[in-house]
Amino acid sequence: MATKDFNYEEFAQNLAAQAQELVPQDFNDVQKQYVINTLGNFAMLSGQTLAQDPNLNFNAEQSITITQIIAEWSFHKSVDVIRSGIPQQYWDPIMQQIAYTIFEIAKQTFSQGLPHDKILELIEHHVKKKYAEAITELKNKGAIDEGLMEYAMSQSNMDRMAQEMQQQQEHGGMPIGADGSLPPLPTAPTIPTEMPKVDSKVLKLATVAMLFKKLNQDKVQTILNKFDPQDAEAVIKYMRMPDLIDRVGGANALRALQEIKTTLPRNTQITPHKVILKLKKFGSKYSSKELDTILIRERMGVKRLVFNAIEGKFYDKMAPRVASIVATHLTDSV
């Protein structure tokens, strides 16, 4: 029977309100709102189904737990999707697959009466599997290249979160409050003793090395040629560390990127003229027939953006920031 005493609307709103305090500070307003809306929408939909579907037989506590699990994973995986660099038009399809997977696995495991830690373990396994499948599917249909696929795959703080959950369970279980309290984001480990004096510069160079490991090595070498020789040598050394990501930690890397961002030139305004120049340069490398082949899987708006730019015109039905993202995607994926 349906769960009559589960106020899913209020619960979902509470979760979304709390998420506002947890969204990464380096996200822009659009990205922050996407995370909050995604969490809120999936929590609302799952809560409504649990509360109203007569074929389900969960009590209020179980419904709260399932909805919170969906909200937590929606939060973290939407953050991962944004940080992955995958074009925004693919975010929703990925997140919808993940949310559906969580809901189905949660229904099955709760109905079977499995232990709470086993439920969390199974859900984590299937979320990671579905996320990897969705990213691989994008690569297979030509929406992203192999480098971006690998980088997207690496975007996960769930291993650390699982460790925290395990510690909580060992001390009495993960608390699921009636107010829908979200647990805090896990704290990333700092760089260990192999990098003894972790000053700001070392952290920045290590973070740059993390990014460079995902780039084409010819591009990396071109960039390193502009570095101070000692700094370039340090970056190369860090790139050779197989566990560099774990040593630096996500929180440290984000802090370093924020510091780097503040030192960059402020002339970062995206204008139609800049997009046109970028796409003109891109288009100049190919014939019209080759461009048709490259753009065969792209939407009509993307094709018009490219061909208009080649003629020196801007496709004004697309916002400059979105057009810039498209231009970068095309440049990097070919």
Interval 250-269: pLDDT, tens: 666 666 776 666 555 444 56
Cα–Cα dist 113/300, whole Å: 49
Sorting pLDDT into bands at 50, 70 and 90, what band is 39? very high
Locate tokens 């079977």: which residue? 112
The dihedral region occupied by 85, where left means phi > 0, alpha psi between -120 and 50, and beta the remainder, is left
In tens, the pLDDT along 53-83 reads 777 788 888 888 899 899 989 988 998 998 8
3-state secondary structure of 143: coil
**pLDDT given for residue 98 in this prediction:** 92
Which structure tokens are listed for 116?
């709470």
Task: State residue 187 phi and psi, 5-degree precision.
Answer: -90, 125
Residue 43 · residue 88 · CB < 8 Å: no
Longest dimension (CA), the chain: 69
Q: What is the pLDDT of residues 176-235, one digit of tens each?
A: 343 434 444 333 333 333 333 345 677 788 888 887 877 777 777 777 777 777 888 888
Are the beta carbons of 9 and 52 closer than 8 angstroms? Answer: no
- Collect all residues with Cβ–Cβ distance below 8 Å to 214 and sequence separation of at least 6: 147, 150, 151, 154
Q: Which two tokens stand for residue 168?
A: 């909580």
Confidence of residue 174 (pLDDT cuts 50, 70, 90): very low
